[in-house]
């Protein structure tokens, strides 16, 4: 198969030629997927998904792409997509691996049993029940005095992101307590 120049493919993709997009996929896709597998250690499925998402991105933004740099642009988009997917996967906290009970001590359990239930505490408990597992876990870590560094380690994120997690958690709970959610 003769390689079609990027400039020709760009012009055809720009006017909505799906065959040109398929040709571009056939020309560059296997090389990008192979590179992601070999150099980044991605599985075939992850590399293929990154390429597919990058190809869609290129098709949507074709007007902003310089015609002679179409392949390079798509290749970089696939690398960014693979890196983004890997970061998201690393941040995902699975309920089995990390749960509120992991951070509760016997003293915490005793205090919960002995504490009188005030209306504000009941409302906070309701808000926490309605919140996501992530918000509940961050709130619990904050309650036991975990530092931003410890929260960052628990969620496998940077310390700056842990500060954001704390802030978002407080904002969500405040909104709920004020009757907003």
Per-10-residue mean pLDDT of the chain, 181 residues long, equals: 89 92 94 90 88 92 93 92 78 50 57 64 84 87 85 86 90 83 53
pTM above 0.75, yes or no: no
Structurally, the chain folds into a number of domains equal to: 2
Which of 69, 91, 113 is the endpoint of a domain?
91
Q: Measuring CA to CA, how many Å separate 93 from each of 31, 77, 104, 141, 156?
A: 33, 26, 18, 14, 8
Query: For residues 29 and 79, what is the distance between their CA atoms, to the nearest angstrom?
Result: 12
Q: Does residue 117 belong to any structural domain of this protein?
A: yes
Q: Does residue 145 belong to any structural domain of this protein?
A: yes
Q: What is the predicted pLDDT for the residue at 176?
A: 86
Which of 63, 91, 119 is the endpoint of a domain?
91
Q: Are residues 81 and 125 in the same domain?
A: no
Q: What is the predicted pLDDT for the residue at 55?
A: 93
Q: What is the predicted pLDDT for the residue at 92?
A: 58
Q: Are residues 85 and 10 in the same domain?
A: yes
Which of 62, 91, 120 is the endpoint of a domain?
91
Q: Are residues 48 and 120 in the same domain?
A: no
- Contact, 59 vs 21, CB < 8 A? yes
């Amino acid at each position: 198969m003769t390689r079609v120049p990027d400039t020709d493919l760009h012009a055809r993709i720009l006017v909505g030629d799906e065959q040109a997009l398929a040709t571009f996929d056939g020309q560059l896709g296997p090389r990008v997927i192979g590179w992601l597998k070999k150099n980044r250690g991605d599985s075939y499925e992850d590399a293929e998904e990154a390429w597919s998402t990058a190809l869609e991105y290129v098709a949507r933004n074709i007007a902003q792409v310089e015609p002679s740099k179409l392949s390079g642009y798509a290749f970089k988009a696939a690398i960014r997509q693979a890196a983004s997917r890997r970061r998201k996967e690393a941040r995902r906290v699975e309920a089995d691996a990390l749960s509120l009970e992991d951070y509760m001590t016997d003293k915490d359990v005793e205090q919960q049993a002995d504490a009188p239930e005030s209306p504000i505490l009941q409302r906070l408990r309701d808000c926490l029940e309605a919140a996501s597992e992530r918000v509940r876990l961050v709130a619990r870590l904050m309650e036991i005095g975990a530092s931003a560094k410890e929260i960052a380690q628990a969620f496998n994120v940077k310390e700056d992101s842990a500060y954001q997690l704390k802030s978002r958690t407080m904002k969500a709970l405040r909104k709920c307590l004020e009757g907003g959610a």
